Amino acid sequence: MERAKALLKTINPGIDLNALLSGEKLLIGNGPRIEPEHVEALRTVVTTLSDEDALTAVGLANEGGRIRRKAGTQDELLSPKVVSDLEAFLKSLL
């Protein structure tokens, strides 16, 4: 087992072997470490973007995934692709 750990650390320096062995999802490579509170913050953003009451409270609306002003010029804040990409990113972290 120790030889396997040493080989894995050689192939992928910086990997958290304890997290890997416990079954946690990890970014492979030397990418940034994603903390649980960062995932929770992203979950809050994604949830809020689909919460019509929360959006209405700040003058926004979700129209087919497009986040825009509810009245006036109805300027787009986020496109449907951005919203769906955020949702996909969150799912990849869970």
Residue 27 and residue 56 in one domain: no
Does 38 share its domain with 48?
yes
Count the domains in the chain: 2
For residue 57, the Cα-to-chain-centroid distance in whole angstroms is: 24
Contacts with 23 (C-beta within 8 Å, 6 or more apart), sequence order: none
What is the structure's pLDDT at 35? 82
Residues 90 and 52 placed together within one structural domain of the fold: yes
Q: pTM of this prediction? A: 0.61
The pLDDT value given to residue 5: 63
Shared domain check, 24 and 41: no
- Residue 66 pairs in a beta bridge with 63
CA distance 83 to 88: 9
43-78 burial, b for 16+ CB within 10 Å, e for fewer? eeebeebeeeeebeeeebebeeebbbeeeeeeeeeb
Q: What is the pLDDT of residue 4?
A: 63
70 with 29, same domain? no
For the beta carbon of residue 21, count every other beta carbon within 10 angstroms.
Answer: 10
pLDDT value at residue 80: 92
Q: How confident is the model at residue 1 (pLDDT cuts 50, 70, 90)?
A: low
Is residue 61 domain-shared with residue 26, that is, in the same domain?
Answer: no
Same domain as 73, residue 38: yes
- Could you tell me the pLDDT band of residue 93, with boundaries at 50, 70 and 90? confident
What is the pLDDT at residue 13? Answer: 63
pLDDT tens string 19-74: 666 666 555 556 667 788 888 999 999 999 999 999 999 999 999 889 999 998 98
